[in-house]
Amino acid sequence: MMHISFFLLVIITGGVSCKVCSYQDVLDYLNMTVDTSVFKLTRPVLDHTHTTAVKTDLILYAILSVVEKTQTFVPFVWVTVQWKDERISWDPAQFCGITEISVPKGILWRPDLFIYEMVEKDDSPQNPYILVTHDGTVYFDEDMRVISTCKMDVHKFPFDTQECSLSIGSAIHCVKEIRIFPFSNSSRATQFSREVMKTQGEWEFLKMSVESSNISLYDRRWELLVYKVTIKRRPLLHVINFLLPILFFLILDLASFFIADHRGEKLGFKVTVLLAISVLLLILNDILPSMSNRTPLIATYCIVIFALMLLSLLETILVTYLIDKDSEDELSLCDSGEEKNKQMKTKDCSTGIKKQNGCSYKVCESEKKHELLTVDDEVNYSSHSRDTNALQLILDEQKKLQNMMHRHFGPRAERYYTMQSSAPKRR
Ligand SMILES: *[C@@H]1O[C@H](CO)[C@@H](O)[C@H](O)[C@H]1NC(C)=O
Ligand SMILES: *[C@@H]1O[C@H](CO)[C@@H](O)[C@H](O)[C@H]1NC(C)=O
Ligand SMILES: *[C@@H]1O[C@H](CO)[C@@H](O)[C@H](O)[C@H]1NC(C)=O
């Protein structure tokens, strides 16, 4: 652009004066080509009591990441810094109207500004030039990826709003040497950031406020500019990913009370649901920082649901145990009933059939009308009793045979016979 205006100037003035100016002439006039190191040596004031007024502007261009676990806030910002170098001035009229030149940023003094919260050096590409105007005002622009610490309160996670500060101040120049002022006020900064903001992922940018503050240390005071960025989390993902599934698991767990079951399937189901919740809790553990002061509400939510499910699991275990114990008692009652039947002819199990074990079982079962035993069990029992009947008959028959053998052939033959008959007996 400078070139175009320069050529225009040449065309307008035509062959009348033929004055040609270059940036080099300006630099020569300023003595910047002779010894460049002079300009970066000290603070650019002619009287040492003058303070250098530094105006800065910080614009939020993107929110790259917010990590609650490590309490890190990573925005991408544009920082504009402006100050006055009292050693530099020229008359644009003498140099064909050149009002500003850009010079390598290494040759001039720059305020030693830094961001207090920044915890890691930035390695994004740097702008190599700074702009100098004819009245000595110097402009300096920088894009930075700021990896900053930010104290985050996750009490209301995932419906939380965070406020992170970026404080800009001078490292060694105290308030008598460098004063820092904001270019734009809070509303302007917010509006401008909204206009340029490119990425808005999980976080929604709400506002940015700027205020000035002083800090003192060792009898010296530094001025700094605090930009407070307020961002709000978009909770939808966490609600879908986390809150709802946990609620669904709780509903599933409650619904499992309706599973009619006496084989431990209900127990297995409940344990599975509890394990699923534990997996979700592990995810939560990755997100939330371990904070001691205030427990996040979501942790309370999880713990309450977990506890409810644990209680229901314990209840199921208890009920299963009681049912098992109950049915065991009844079985043993029936077992002992057989023997006792002979002595005490009680009401329930003392019907006619006593000798055949199986029948007495059957009578006992049918009379007691055991609720827990299904039809399958009854079938099992009756078939079982039929088998024992048959076995009993075989046994009786065998004993008779044995006696006969003993009487007729003596002990040797008997032994032979038992060896032969033991095989089918075992079957
Ligand atoms: C440049 O240096 C010359 C000689 O040392 C001096 O006369 C002149 O004033 C200097 N120019 C500026 C702008 O300081
Ligand atoms: C902020 O600055 C703008 C102009 O840059 C101005 O119009 C507005 O009134 C200012 N707001 C406040 C609160 O000072
Ligand atoms: C910081 O100190 C300067 C110089 O003494 C003073 O003008 C300014 O008001 C102070 N700022 C605050 C926020 O106290």
Average pLDDT score over the chain:
80
Read off the pLDDT band of 426 (50, 70, 90): very low
Contact criterion met (CB below 8 Å) for 143 and 76: yes
Average pLDDT over residues 25-30: 89
Angle at CA 54, nearest 5°, toward 53 and 57? 145
What pLDDT score was predicted for residue 189? 92
- Give yes or no for residue 183 having a pLDDT over 50: yes
- Token pair belonging to 309: 């499910």
State residue 133 phi and psi, 5-degree precision: -100, 170
Which ligand 2 atom is at minimum distance from the Cα of 184?
5
Contact criterion met (CB below 8 Å) for 187 and 60: no
pTM to 2 decimal places: 0.70
Domains of the chain and any CATH numbers: 22-234 (2.70.170.10), 238-367 (1.20.58), 373-418 (no CATH)
Top mutation candidate among 31, 32, 134 for ligand 1, by most atoms within 8 Å of CB: 31
Is the shortest distance between the CB of 214 and ligand 3 below 6 Å?
Answer: yes
Which ligand gives the minimal distance to the CA of 220?
A: 3
- Give yes or no for residue 29 having a pLDDT over 50: yes
**Helix, coil or strand: residue 58:** strand
For residue 179, give the H/E element and its range: strand 178-182
Contact criterion met (CB below 8 Å) for 113 and 54: yes
CA of 230 to the centre of ligand 3 (A): 25
Read off the pLDDT band of 83 (50, 70, 90): very high
CA of 96 to the centre of ligand 1 (A): 20
State residue 82 phi and psi, 5-degree precision: -135, 135
Q: Whose CA is nearest to atom 10 of ligand 1?
A: 31
pLDDT digits (tens, 9 = 90+) for 231-258: 999 999 889 988 999 999 999 999 988 8
Top mutation candidate among 55, 184, 187 for ligand 2, by most atoms within 8 Å of CB: 187
Burial class (CB in 10 A: 0-12, 13-18, 19+), 357: middle
**Helix, coil or strand: residue 213:** strand
Lowest mean pLDDT across 9-13, 92-96, 204-208, 217-221: 9-13
Average pLDDT over residues 373-392: 60
- Token pair belonging to 87: 């050693």
Is the shortest distance between the CB of 87 and ligand 1 below 6 Å?
Answer: no
pLDDT digits (tens, 9 = 90+) for 292-305: 677 888 888 988 99
pLDDT digits (tens, 9 = 90+) for 91-149: 999 999 999 999 998 889 999 999 999 998 888 788 899 999 999 999 999 999 999 99
Q: What is the residue type of 102?
A: S
Is the shortest distance between the CB of 136 and ligand 1 below 6 Å?
Answer: no
Strand ranges (E), 185-283: 203-217, 220-233
